[in-house]
């Protein structure tokens, strides 16, 4: 069954460092998303991306965050200068079309900021 | 602000029991209600509901939506230890971003 793959599975970084989380969405999907889950809290929407541009973003997704689809297969989330509160599990997801909200999620990248 | 609330927070049952998980939602431009199962890693899709009163079934799992009361339930009959997981409910918006608002989840533990 097609799946969304994410790397790394776990990253530890120092506060203030830049991190890039990578995702390979399902190949025929056109819509891409990042969600995050702080330990013990709800899964929260960060950003959605379609046709090489952001279609929606939450208040969490401030200037420290950016997304990019650098080639035909990867979708990345960059955090420019990490803070302690950025520690969370980051989930990438994709969907085939926006007419239904069915997202397929990756296994997540756990980010720990020290 | 959109909100999805799940109850109970956690549930411990024995194999063979039937459980009902609850989800209430307030989502602007509501389009659909989704259930996901989260074990150690990725949330995996269970159901998407868009119409009231139509039960969706998959094996021992079933779900129904009430758009008047803004409520959905997920039933699991004849529970097995493999059903142990966190069950997430999410409200889907009809907007450009196709955004999901998640509830806090119900942690289900099924004991042998």
Residue among B41, B44, B104 whose CB faces A108 most closely: B41
- Residue B88: list chain A partners with CB under 8 A: 43
How far apart CA B66 and CA B54 sit, in angstroms, is 9
Whether A88 has a pLDDT exceeding 70, the answer reads yes
> Which of residues 1 through 30 in chain B touch A, CB cutoff 8 A?
none
Ordered strands of the B3-7 beta sheet: B3-7, B19-26, B71-76, B61-66, B56-58
Span A10-26, mean pLDDT?
97
By C-alpha distance, the chain B residue nearest A103 is B45
By C-alpha distance, the chain B residue nearest A95 is B98
- The pLDDT score that the predictor gives to residue A77 is 98
Q: What is the mean pLDDT of chain A?
A: 92
Probe site for chain A from B44, B97, B105 (most A CB atoms < 10 A): B97
Q: Is B44 on the interface with A (CB under 8 A)?
A: yes
Q: Is A60 on the interface with B (CB under 8 A)?
A: no
Chain A nearest-CA distance from B86, in A, is 11
Interface touch A45/B103, C-beta < 8 Å:
no
How far apart CA B58 and CA A14 sit, in angstroms, is 45
Interface touch A43/B96, C-beta < 8 Å:
no
How far apart CA A91 and CA A100 sit, in angstroms, is 19
- The pLDDT score that the predictor gives to residue B73 is 98
Whether A97 has a pLDDT exceeding 80, the answer reads no
How far apart CA A74 and CA A68 sit, in angstroms, is 8
Span A35-40, mean pLDDT?
94
- The pLDDT score that the predictor gives to residue A42 is 93
Whether B87 has a pLDDT exceeding 70, the answer reads yes
- Residue B90: list chain A partners with CB under 8 A: 43, 101
**DSSP assignment string, chain B:** --EEEEE-SEEEEETT--EEEEEEEE-TTEEEEEEEEESSSSEEEEEEE-STT--EEETTEEEEEETTTTEEEEEE-S--GGG-EEEEEEEEE-STT--EEE---EEEEEE-
Give the phi and the psi of residue B62 in degrees, each rounded to 5: -150, 155
Span B36-55, mean pLDDT?
91
How far apart CA B77 and CA A32 sit, in angstroms, is 34
C-alpha closest to that of A56 among A38, A34, A41: A34
Give the phi and the psi of residue A26 in degrees, each rounded to 5: -65, 140
Interface touch B32/A104, C-beta < 8 Å:
no
Chain B nearest-CA distance from A99, in A, is 8
Whether B98 has a pLDDT exceeding 90, the answer reads no
Interface touch A101/B31, C-beta < 8 Å:
yes
- The pLDDT score that the predictor gives to residue A100 is 66
């Amino acid at each position: 069954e097609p799946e969304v793959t994410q790397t790394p599975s776990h990253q530890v970084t120092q506060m203030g460092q830049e991190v890039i989380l990578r995702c390979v969405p399902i190949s025929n999907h056109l819509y891409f998303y990042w969600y995050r889950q702080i330990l013990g809290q709800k899964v929260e929407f960060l950003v959605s991306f379609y046709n090489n541009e952001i279609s929606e973003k939450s208040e969490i997704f401030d200037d420290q965050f950016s997304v990019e689809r650098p080639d035909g297969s990867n979708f990345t989330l960059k955090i420019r200068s990490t803070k302690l509160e950025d520690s969370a599990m980051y989930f990438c997801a994709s969907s085939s079309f926006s007419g239904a909200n069915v997202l397929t999620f990756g296994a997540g990248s756990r980010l720990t900021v020290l | 602000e959109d909100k999805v609330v799940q109850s109970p927070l956690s549930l411990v049952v024995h194999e063979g029991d039937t459980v009902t998980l609850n989800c209430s939602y307030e989502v602007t431009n509501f389009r659909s209600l989704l259930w996901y199962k989260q074990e150690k890693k990725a949330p995996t899709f269970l159901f998407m509901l868009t119409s009231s009163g139509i039960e969706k079934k998959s094996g021992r799992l079933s779900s129904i939506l009430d758009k008047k009361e803004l409520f959905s339930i997920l039933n699991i009959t004849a529970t097995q230890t493999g059903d142990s997981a966190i069950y997430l409910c999410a409200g889907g918006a009809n907007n450009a971003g196709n955004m999901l608002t998640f509830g806090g989840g119900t942690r289900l533990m099924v004991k042998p």
